[in-house]
Amino acid sequence: MTDLATAARAELIRLWGEARDAAHDLGHIDRVWANAKAIMGDAPGLDVQALQMAVIFHDAVNLPKDALDRAQASARSAQAAAGWLRAQGWGTERIALVTHAIEAHSFSAGITPQTPEARVLQDADRLEALGAIGLARMFAVAGSMGGALFHPDDPLAQHRPLNDRAYALDHLEVKLFGLTQTMQTPTGRAMAEERTEWMFSFRARLLREIGGGGSFF
């Protein structure tokens, strides 16, 4: 790890303060960076150091999923990154690469990535929402918000509206199963397809274990 990356991580820890979020911790940052390195070959000419800074700071301001201003989290994270990088002597153009990537990574912000750095970060972060790690994070977030694992009588929402605020399993249909179609890079899409297929298998196994839902009494 470079001295700049080490210093950036220290700044991230300072920004987080005493906040704790199992789905958005240093492990998440490290996994997103690993994902980014796996797919950056699909984006020739990108600024690797700018991408790394975007990865480190992309969740610098982490608002709760149910916060009314949740969509502003990525913009605030970008502002925090810009201020810190400016103090390190970075120029306006390179800072813009970082801030756009951070702003565009967010699903809730709805910003289309316009640069190689932004496309790679968006894919790398969305891969964290898929596969085994995606399920682990999904249930962790649901638990922190007081949600149930699944609806006890209708886990697949066949006779009710989907509600992923109340039932974690609903989040697969509400958001996660559709992420593959949003991937920006060929490698990212292939990885997303494999992880999504595994999540379908997990859900099928879960339904077998719980008897497909419904009361036993």
Q: Which residues of the chain are in CATH 1.10.3210.50 domains?
A: 129-217
For the chain, the C-alpha Rg in angstroms (whole number) is 18
Q: Is the pLDDT of residue 64 over 80?
A: no
CATH for 129-217, options being 2.60.40.1730, 1.10.3210.50, 1.10.4160.10, 3.90.1170.30: 1.10.3210.50
Instruction: Please give the structure tokens belonging to residue 50.
Output: 């700018």
pTM over 0.85: yes
Q: pLDDT tens for residues 83-138?
A: 999 999 999 999 999 999 999 998 888 889 999 999 999 999 999 999 999 999 99
